[in-house]
Amino acid sequence: MRPSLTRRSFVKATSAGLAGIGFLATGARSLYAAATGKANVLALKGGTPVRGKPFSQTWPLVDEREEAALLKALKSRNWCCIRGNAVYDFQKVFAEAMGVPHCFLTNGGTTALSASLSVLDVGPGDEVITTPNTFIATINTITNLHALPVFVDVDPDTGSIDADRIEAALTEHTKAILPVHLAGWPVDIEKIMALAQKHKIAVVEDACQSVYAQVNGKKVGTFGRTGCISFQEYKSLVCGEGGAILGRDDEFMRRCGAFVNNGRDPQRRERGYPFPGSNHRMTEFQAAVLAAQFTRFKDQAPLRYENGRYVEEALAKIPGLTPRKRYGGDTRPTFVQFEMDYDRSAFQNVPATRFAEALRAENIPMRGGPRRYSGGCHKEKMLQEHLNSAAFQAAFSPARLEKYRQSLRFPVMDGEKPSRKETLSMDSKIPFLGSRKDMDEIIEAVQKVARNVDKLM
């Protein structure tokens, strides 16, 4: 863009040439100023970055609320929930916030999942249908019960379990379906629930990474027989380590509550230890921090969503950027992870990696690249260890184990059919807690890079 441009000719040129791209969203005036100065030169090429400094990386956020809550728990001398109040009080608060009658807190998302599967009586010889694209904890909860994780390939557009492939994976041994809502993005949960109801199979939702994501007004983790949440410190609602089991079924949840507390009846109808169990209890310290964090999270979650929607809507006006696929009608991700599809043909064939590199120079922490799924839990060595263990050898015939070993190939997950789609993504847990000005800077930076994409070749 020539600096000698007049304002009138600039507006005319951009209106005519770029109107469809939504470049005028931030105002022709600021664009004119940007285009005529160093501000329009990509930071990667020595120009001034759109944002003066990177987004903060400080997480978790802490203030006097956590300090006071911790001190109160400490001084109470009731550090275990059996005599304390913090765990039981927050169970009520969280159940109500999630829209379910029951919540039991645990010492982690892993133990919340384990308890759910144990109460479902998943055990040796059983199969649990799940996704290879998850954190290994999901799979550990199945294999530790000496059941087989039956993997279903992922949807190439999202990396979530492909709900249309689940029915073919059902067998007489299927005890549960364990879908995972990854990084704040709901899976096709309504389709999975309909299928599960048709076949009378329980669903345990792994919503560990997606607290407050919603589908048609219902929060994920509240569709299945149980839903499990993680409060581990990298998540969006945190207390160091912690988890929750959510559910609607009174009797099933009574058993879950008992399971995490060494079999004690949470309704205290029976003395002693009427149910099977273990100790998955959360401490009063964790619950004290969690309750304090929740006062902040209640405002953060809607803010993150609003900011995510705002940025997505503005960027969707740029030809070549498309919102990530959603399942179901009103699907609301948490936007702890921002993601848009990137079509390089609209950007003079510049790869998404290069586009994102230019954005990072503008102090916008985007990543770019082809949509591919590396790894996969089916390839982890631990799975072979389990299959070779005495417990698995006792629970499954050699023929069944061999058939299972042979089945561990998934074209999409393994990249045999690499998708040509690329994405731009951002860990937005912290950035989307920013102000409207911060969001406008993200938008402006993407527009700037799009405008100057020819300089990236």
Closest by CA to 199, choosing from 164, 168, 170, is: 170
Pick the stretch among 60-68, 202-210, 279-287, 442-450 that binds ligand PLP (CB under 6 A): 202-210
For position 137 contacting ligand PLP by CB under 6 A, the verdict is yes
Neighbours of 421 (CB within 10 A): 16
Bridge-based pairing of strands 337-342 and 218-219 is unpaired
Nearer to ligand PLP, 40 or 133 (CB): 133
Residue number, nearest CB to ligand PLP:
109
Pick the stretch among 65-73, 104-112, 244-252, 350-358 that binds ligand PLP (CB under 6 A): 104-112
For position 109 contacting ligand PLP by CB under 6 A, the verdict is yes
Query: Contacting ligand PLP (CB under 6 A), which of 103, 119, 201, 208?
Result: 208
Please name the residues in contact with 2: beta carbons below 8 A apart, sequence gap of 6 or more: none
Which residue's entry shows tokens 């944002």? 51
Nearer to ligand PLP, 174 or 230 (CB): 230
For position 293 contacting ligand PLP by CB under 6 A, the verdict is no
CA distances from 379 to 127, 136, 137, 276, 405 (A): 18, 11, 14, 33, 10
- Considering the complex, what minimum distance in angstroms separates the CB of residue 369 from ligand PLP? 21
For position 206 contacting ligand PLP by CB under 6 A, the verdict is yes
Query: What's the CA angle centered on 345, arms 344 and 348, to 5 degrees?
Result: 85
For position 59 contacting ligand PLP by CB under 6 A, the verdict is no
Nearer to ligand PLP, 231 or 347 (CB): 231
Query: Contacting ligand PLP (CB under 6 A), which of 47, 49, 108, 431?
Result: 108
Q: With contacts defined by CB under 6 A, how many residues of the chain interact with ligand PLP?
A: 14
- Considering the complex, what minimum distance in angstroms separates the CB of residue 287 from ligand PLP? 14
Instruction: Verify cis geometry, omega within 30 degrees of 0, for the bond prior to 266.
Output: no
Q: Using CB atoms within 10 A of its CB, is residue 188 exposed (0-12), middle (13-18) or buried (19+)? A: buried
- Considering the complex, what minimum distance in angstroms separates the CB of residue 151 from ligand PLP? 14
Nearer to ligand PLP, 241 or 414 (CB): 241
For position 209 contacting ligand PLP by CB under 6 A, the verdict is yes
Residue at 213: amino acid letter = A
Nearer to ligand PLP, 60 or 351 (CB): 60
Task: Phi first, then psi: give them for residue 364, nearest 5 degrees.
Answer: -110, 115
Nearer to ligand PLP, 152 or 450 (CB): 152
Per the document, the length of the chain is 457
3-state secondary structure of 84: coil
Quick note: the x/- pattern for ligand PLP over 153-192, rule CB under 6 A, is ---------------------------x------------
Nearer to ligand PLP, 138 or 300 (CB): 138
Instruction: Give the Cα separation of 423 and 438 in Å (integer).
Output: 22
Query: Contacting ligand PLP (CB under 6 A), which of 40, 91, 131, 134?
Result: 134
Nearer to ligand PLP, 5 or 136 (CB): 136
3-state secondary structure of 203: strand
Instruction: Give the Cα separation of 229 and 106 in Å (integer).
Output: 9
Instruction: Give the Cα separation of 86 and 227 in Å (integer).
Output: 21
Neighbours of 388 (CB within 10 A): 10
Nearer to ligand PLP, 243 or 320 (CB): 243
Q: Binding to ligand PLP (CB under 6 A): which residues in 229-268? A: 230, 232, 243
H helices present in 373-435, as ranges: 381-387, 390-395, 398-406
Pick the stretch among 9-17, 32-40, 64-72, 134-142 that binds ligand PLP (CB under 6 A): 134-142
Nearer to ligand PLP, 43 or 377 (CB): 377
Bridge-based pairing of strands 127-130 and 174-178 is parallel
- Considering the complex, what minimum distance in angstroms separates the CB of residue 297 from ligand PLP? 16
Pick the stretch among 34-42, 108-116, 299-307, 339-347 that binds ligand PLP (CB under 6 A): 108-116
CA distances from 383 to 175, 217, 222, 234 (A): 19, 37, 29, 25
Torsion of CA 184, 58, 440, 303, to 10 degrees: 50
Neighbours of 12 (CB within 10 A): 12
Which residues sit at the interface with ligand PLP, rule CB under 6 A? 108-110, 134-135, 137-138, 180, 206, 208-209, 230, 232, 243
